[in-house]
Structure 1
Amino acid sequence: MAQPRILILGAPGAGKGTQSQKITDEFDVDHVTTGDALRANKDMDISDMDTEYDTPREYMDRGELVPDEVVNAIVDEALSAADGFVLDGYPRNLEQAEELDEMTDLDVVLYLDVSEEELVHRLTGRRIDPETGEIYHVEYNPPEDPDVEARLEQRDDDTEETVRERLRVFRENTEPVIDHYDEQGDLERIDGEQAPDEVWADVKATIEDAA
């Protein structure tokens, strides 16, 4: 498989970004995320759609959610321009999954399986250096410099209350997507609680086996 078409699923904190970067490097494919695709196509003409605004930019500038219809079209455009890809952050709901089925034939669907308590531990332990923007973790990746450690801050969306709400929303919206691919026999579950290198070994082997 020279340039596979891969979908990676997982809750916030499951490690999708880390594994997606490794996939792009190893298999020479594009990393397609909804956010990047939206930013790259924010001036796309959507006047032919039954939407309130004529470009995605107008939704984004107002802080409003871009309608599914527009997101679907942008993702379709991004995937059609890629010889191979790892798709991260889409589909977020069953309707989008059904749209994706119409857009492309996936070679493999990966699901990074991590328990809620481990996800909470990972996300609530994250800290940011306000001066550099570097991300650390109080247990897994603390800074070596005590001055850096002293100025680290926890982001508002990394408090336990906020994290658990994000995970609740993920379960509500995205678990039907996981079930969708599982019922089709396409879902490959990866134990996301292993060390990152062990997760990567399983991810790489799974993609190669799908060739």
Structure 2
Amino acid sequence: MSKPRILLLGPPGAGKGTQSSNIAGEFGVEHITTGDALRANKDMDISDMDTEYDTPREYMEQGELVPDAVVNAIVEEALTSADGFVLDGYPRNLEQAEELEGMTDLDVILSLDVSKEELVDRLTGRRVCDDCGANYHVEFSQPEQEGVCDECGGELIQRDDDTEEAVRNRLDVFEDNTAPVIGHYSDHAGFVEIDGEQTPDEVWTDVRAAIEEQA
């Protein structure tokens, strides 16, 4: 089997990062995320795009969203150089989905389905090490000592965007902008919906089986 080209869709908290890492390791493909692609190309010259700034770095340093046209160009560059991939975090809207169709053909499109209340529980329970960035959860992945990172001994904190109000806002934004992308791909021959409320190992079993069947 040639290395598959996989798109992984799902709301914040659905487990895309965990399953993308599993896919990359199992199938020998690159894990491409918008954030990683932006960081890797933050000094890319975009002066020909008639944008406010000449590099993605300047948008990021100002705390502003990088324009879609720039994100599209960076993702296309990452996909072109990849021998098989799992794409996570893009496309975020229908316009980006249309751009993606012009960049590559997808073999498998996986959508992790998780209820809103489950997502709220997962995301509000997340704790992050203030020093090294390691992730924990008050219910699913507790540190050996409460409030202390196992990796470096740093303090575990709740990020500002993991409060319930912020989480519900993020999920509303996903519903408005990204949920239509799932509908857009639902009639693709390689589209498979995965029950994301199972344990991570059970989700992985279904993800792996879907890729092996579709790719």
Taking structure 1 as the reference length, the TM-score comes to 0.94
**Given the alignment, which residue of 148, 165, 168 partners 1:161?**
165
Instruction: Give the aligned partner of residue 6 of structure 1.
Output: 6
Q: Distance in 2 between matches of 1:191 and 1:67?
A: 33
How does 1:45-84 map onto structure 2 within 5 Å? 45-84=45-84
Partner of 1:173: 177
Contact 1:127–1:154, Cα closer than 8 Å, also in 2: yes
SS at match of 1:168: helix
Unaligned runs of 5+ in 2: 150-154
Indicate the larger mover: 128-137 or 151-160. 128-137
Q: Is the alpha carbon distance of 1:2 and 1:195 closer, same or farther for their aligned partners in structure 2, counting shifts above 3 Å?
A: same
Write the deviation string for residues 121-165 of structure 1: whole angstroms up to 9, x where unpaired. 10111122335433211111112224628x532221111111000
Q: Does residue 1:109 correspond to 2:109, yes or no?
A: yes
% identical aligned pairs: 71
The separation in 2 between residues aligned to 1:94 and 1:108, in whole angstroms, is: 18
**Aligned residues: CA RMSD:** 1.7
The equivalent of 2:152 in structure 1 is none
Structure 1 runs of 4+ off > 4 angstroms? none
The aligned length equals 211
Give runs of aligned pairs for residues 95-106 of structure 1, distance below 5 A: 95-106=95-106
Name the TM-score, length of structure 2 as normaliser. Answer: 0.93
Counterpart CA distance in 1 for 2:108 and 2:147 is: 44
Q: Is the 8 A contact 1:2 1:27 kept in 2?
A: no
User: Which residue, 185, 193, 214 being the options, matches 1:210?
Assistant: 214
Aligned to 1:130: 130
